[in-house]
Each structure stands twice: as structure tokens, then as C-alpha cells.
A = this chain, B = another copy of it.
């Protein structure tokens, strides 16, 4: 600060620390509820006390500032408590992706080197042997909903187990004075579920998460009540808390004092029960989870009563969007990735909406959305020049925002690549419309290059998804002597449409060609019917596996 404007000596500079997110809720939301499935209900007043208790439990473990505390749990109030108590104590929260293969789970733990592991008993088998090797883990806190005892899992070898979570909290002091420290202190770390190579660690500071929370509250608050978030909404995650801070909502919902519902392990019947019984009004998930709950509600003949649902992690296709709207879900798109904390863009809605057809409405809900507040999103050409709007200016989406990982954990080279030329490279291929909508047409590595032209696998998938017999579809590039690459469509048919032919599906792509929506060379050369498409741990299409399975064996 310039010398002409000195601060008073005792003026408070207000570092952007996660504890500051609680200021309003501590005054106005003490009676608000937090629900853990059918297992526990607590008030915010109790949450704040429990955060203090957890901090005291951790303080007894003689950790140093910057030590990592890992959590392996389903979505629970315990997880929420760790979101606050761990970073507010100046430790780093590692949210372990328990959906990865056991090898990769252990890889991420070996890489981040947590000293403490908060372990749900259901994952004990997974780390049972690991804990007795050259482990960084000095202390295990036992989380349990199933009366599984430590003895039952670890036998005599339980010296690292500090105790059971609830018992530890009960015996800990209920007050804790969280200190101030540098707002650039790292608060969280987790790993991309990247479809190629080893998972990469990303990390976020207190400042970044506070700014993400404020911008998320502002960006969702600015949407009309029907789609956005307001005081009085009820939040439940359907993207797990180990996946990119569950979109940052546990921080944002606590800051704004919303009622929160944590569903434990995701099962369609539990999710739907909670949505109905707890009057959940805002959630977010991948398309796979949406499909699951739609089916569950159909079976029960239940309605979603205007549940607001942001789809992210994988693109929402128009067929699925239409089905969700028909079942009274206000579905739309949010875009982000592990590297972006994650919120980058959202579908736009206004209290003063222009007239639009149903097709236009569905189409905008399936685009990548408009950048949220503070985000500087640009489309760059191959020589790193910012390009104008319009489909002809398709290139890589690059970003600046106050909440992007500043590198990869212990992987400096990948960090340098991520931030080449001062913008974060998403590796997503997109164009920007003049009205500010980003439209991602493909992943950099999923683009199909046919005869010198780029074919967007995503665009072809969207069109094929509109065929009434299709339940899921993916398009990948396969080697082709003449064209270099040609698109192959992998199609899963609905159970009662198993006799549909490839020609039948192809017809809808040809129709799109005749209407000028896609080029002629975008019609897949081949269609393969499969029972199920390979998916990653977070429910995305696993195109790496698809290419391994189908890409190299076929020559068209």
C-alpha cells in the first residue's frame, strides 16, 4: 500500500481464510439443519462445535502446519466437518477419490503422503495391508456407520488407530481458537481422475477457495430462483465430496447457511428418498447419476418438483436434458475441471428471458455455459493467439480465474505445460458465441481428424443421442488408411429397442447432414452395438479404454 495511505496499527487486514466463510452463518444460521442420510441430523450450532472438537482431536496428534490429513469417506457430515476443521487448523485436506482402482487410490496416498487418514470402515480392506508398509500415515481416525470394529479389520495391529470419530469428538474440548495465517496457505489437494497416465495432484489455497465460494454464490445467486440458489434452498451433492470439493458447494452452502443433506454412498433409491423427504431443491451430478435417478423416479412414478440440477464432469446431451425436463428437473450445465476448483461457466438464465423455442431452450442448457464472474475465458489458436467469436474460430479454451491450481503437485513439468504463456490450458476444444456462450466441441485428444478436417466427437454423439432407441453413445476416432481417422459410434440400445439396426441410427446422422448441422464426413463410418460403454471412476465416458478396445483393431 502506498505510504500516503497508512493503515491504523490495529486495523484488521482480513486475510481470506476458510474460517471467514462461517462469519454470517455463525450469527444467522445456528438453527439451520444438516442431515446425513437417515443416520444423523444436526444443527449448524452443533456443526460449529463439532468443527472445534475435530480441530482439538487433530491438535492432539502433534502435526505441523502443512501436514496432510486424508479423508476416505462417502458424503457425510463428517466429510463436511473435515472441509473446515482441517484447513482451518493449517493442515491440508486430501480428499481421496475412493472410486479409483485400488492401485490408483494407493498411488494418490503414497504421492500426497498424509500423516492422518480419516478412514470409513468400508474402505479399511483397501488400505489394510498398505498401512503396515512404508506408510506416511501415522494416525488413523475410524469412521463407521456399520458397527465394524477396528479389531475386526486390523486384528492386533491397530497401534496407529487413534479412535472412533464420534468417540474422539465426544471427549474433545468444544472450543477452539482458529488462528490467522497467510491466505495463500494451501488448504486442499486431490487428484485428477485423468484418463491417461498416473493421476495428477492439484492444490488450492484458502484465498482461492474463499474467492471460489463468493463467486459461486454470486453466480448462482444471480440466476433466477427457478434455476439459481437463494436463501431457503436445500442442497444435496450428487457429485461426491472427493471430487473437486463437490463443486465447492459444501463451502458455499455453509457460507450462505442453506440446509444441507449428505447422502452417504450413492444409491438411486436413497438419493430419491432424500430428494423427496428432505425437499432437496439444488444439486449437481454427472449424466450417469441423472440417468439413474430418472429411472428410479419413473419406476416409482415420483416427481422431482422442479429440483435444480447442474450437470458437469461430462457433457449433457439433448436427449437426456429433454427427459429430465419432462420429469420436472430444471437441468442445465456447469463446466469445470479438477484444475479449476471447479466452477468456470454456467448456463445463463435471466428474469427477463427472450422468447425461445423448446429446442433453443434445450440447446442452451447443453452448451458449456457462459463464463462466471471474474473468469477470463479465451479461445486460443494453435499459435497461442486469442481468437474472435464464432464457430470458425474453434481452438483451445484457456483460462484465468482467481481459483485455478497454480501447478501440479510434485510434477513441475506438467505444471509448466498447464500454464504455458500465462493462461491455464484446459485441453478442451471450443468456440465462443457472440453472446458469450462457450461451446466445447471436444477434448483436444478426442478430436477426430478426417481428411484434414476436424470432426467433433461430441457433436456427433449429441445427434445420435436424440434417436429414441439410444440409451448411451460415444464416438471415437479409428485409424483409416485413406482419411487418417474416421469416426466409429459405440451405441448402447435401450432394453426394449434391441432390434434397432445400424442403418436406423445412421439415418438420424444423415438427417443432420441434410439440415446442414454436421458435415457429410461427420457421419460415422461404422456403428458397434455394446451393452455398456466403458466409464471412468467419476462416470465419464472412458475414451482411452474405448480406443484401446476398438480403436486400433479395426481398419475401415
Contact = CB atoms under 8 A, between A and B. Distances in A.
Which of A221, A223, A371 is the most central at the interface, judged by chain B CB atoms within 10 Å of its CB?
Answer: A221
Given A12-B419, A184-B1, A374-B21, A224 B230 contact: yes
Contacts of A186: 1-2, 4-5
Contact of A419 (B11, B185, B404): B11
A100 interface: no
A318 interface: no
A11 B415 contact: yes
A232 interface: yes
Contact of A24 (B6, B221, B373): B373
A27 B400 contact: no
B222 A370 contact: no
A422 B7 CA distance: 12
A23 B407 contact: no
A275 to B, nearest CB: 16
A508 interface: no
Interface residues of A, number: 84
B349 A231 contact: yes
Contacts of A20: 374, 376, 402
Nearest to A413: B8
B12 A422 contact: yes
Copies in the complex: 2
Nearest to A436: B28
A353 interface: yes
A326 interface: no
A412 interface: yes
A421 interface: yes
A477 to B, nearest CB: 31
A24 B370 contact: yes
A377 interface: yes
Nearest to A403: B14
A475 interface: no
Given A217-B218, A222-B217, A231 B348 contact: yes
Contacts of A217: 218, 221-222, 373
B353 A232 contact: yes
Q: A-side binding surface: helix, strand, loop or mixed?
A: loop
Contacts of A66: 2, 4
Contact of A23 (B184, B230, B371, B422): B371
A20 B13 CA distance: 21
B224 A8 contact: no
A167 interface: no
Contacts of A432: 27
Contacts of A4: 66, 186
Nearest to A234: B352
A523 interface: no
A189 to B, nearest CB: 8
Given A1-B184, A12-B422, A215-B214, A377 B27 contact: yes
A5 B13 CA distance: 25
A140 interface: no
Nearest to A281: B351
A288 B372 CA distance: 37
Nearest to A23: B376
A19 to B, nearest CB: 10
A347 to B, nearest CB: 11
B420 A10 contact: yes
Contacts of A10: 416, 419-422
Interface in A223-242: 223-225, 228-233
A407 B8 CA distance: 5
Given A24-B371, A222-B221, A423 B12 contact: yes
Contacts of A94: none
Interface of A: 1-2, 4-14, 16, 20-21, 23-24, 27-30, 66, 182, 184-186, 203, 205, 211, 214-215, 217-225, 228-233, 255-256, 348-353, 370-377, 400-402, 404, 406-407, 409, 412, 415-416, 418-424, 432, 434-436
26 contacts: A1-B186, A5-B406, A5-B409, A8-B406, A8-B416, A9-B419, A10-B419, A10-B420, A11-B407, A11-B422, A12-B400, A23-B371, A24-B370, A27-B370, A27-B377, A27-B436, A28-B348, A211-B214, A214-B215, A218-B256, A219-B221, A221-B222, A223-B230, A230-B350, A231-B348, A232-B351
Given A11-B418, A214-B214, 12 more contacts: A1-B186, A1-B205, A7-B415, A8-B407, A8-B416, A10-B419, A11-B419, A12-B422, A14-B401, A23-B376, A29-B436, A219-B221
* 8 A-B pairs with least C-beta separation: A221-B221, A28-B436, A232-B352, A232-B350, A7-B406, A232-B351, A217-B218, A8-B415
